[in-house]
Amino acid sequence: MKKKLNRYISRKSTLNRRGFACIGLSNPQDGVNIGHALRAALCFDVRMIILENPSKNINIKKLLTDPGKTYRHIPVITTSNILDIVPTDCEIIGVELDPKSIDLRKFHHPERGCYIFGPENGSINEKLLKKCSSIVSIPTTVSLNLGMTVNIAMYDRSLKTHQS
C-alpha cells in the first residue's frame, strides 16, 4: 500500500496549459521596486526572474515589498547579461517607451515569453532592445515605476492567456 503524502497546499495545480513567462530586470537599483516586481511574479505565475546587474546593496531575502518571499517559490537568478539566462525557444519582449513599440492593449503574448524591463532611471540598452522580438509599451500620461510596470504587463498576459 502506498503511503499518502500530506500536501500543505489544498488547491489543484493550475498548470493546464503550455507556456510560461519569465521576467528580466535590467540594472534595477531600488529594492522597493524589485520587491514589487517579485511579488507580481508570484501573483501572476511567472516561472523565473532574472536580475541583470542589480544594485549591490539589495538583499533579495529582506525586501519589505515582497512579503511572500518570492525567492522561495520562483528561481531568482542574478547575472551580468540577461541574454545568457533567457530560456531556450523563448521570445524576448522589451517593455519600454519606444517609438517602435506596440501598445500593450493590442499585443498578442507569445506562449513562451521573457519580458525585459529597464532600470528606474533609464531605458533598456540598445544591444538588448535589438534582441527583442517585440517591444511593447503601456500607454500612460506619465511614466510608471518599475514595479507597477511589471504588474500591469504580467496582469495583461494573465488576462489574455486565460481568455484563449
Is the model's pLDDT at 130 over the cut of 90? Answer: yes
Nearest-5° angle of CA 89, CA 105, CA 28?
A: 60
Please give the grid coordinates belonging to residue 119. 532600470
Residues 6 or more apart whose CB falls under 8 angstroms from that of 162 comprise none
Over residues 34-74, the pLDDT tens digits come to 999 999 999 999 999 999 999 999 998 999 998 889 999 99
Is the model's pLDDT at 12 over the cut of 90? Answer: no
Class of domain 20-163: alpha beta
Please give the grid coordinates belonging to residue 151. 504588474
Please give the grid coordinates belonging to residue 65. 515589498
pTM recorded for the entire structure: 0.87
157 in Cβ contact with 109 (< 8 Å):
yes
Q: Would you kindly state where each structural domain of the chain is located, as residue ranges?
A: 20-163
Query: What span, in angstroms and rounded, lies between the C-alpha atoms of 29 and 8?
Result: 35
Over residues 77-98, the pLDDT tens digits come to 999 999 999 999 999 999 999 8
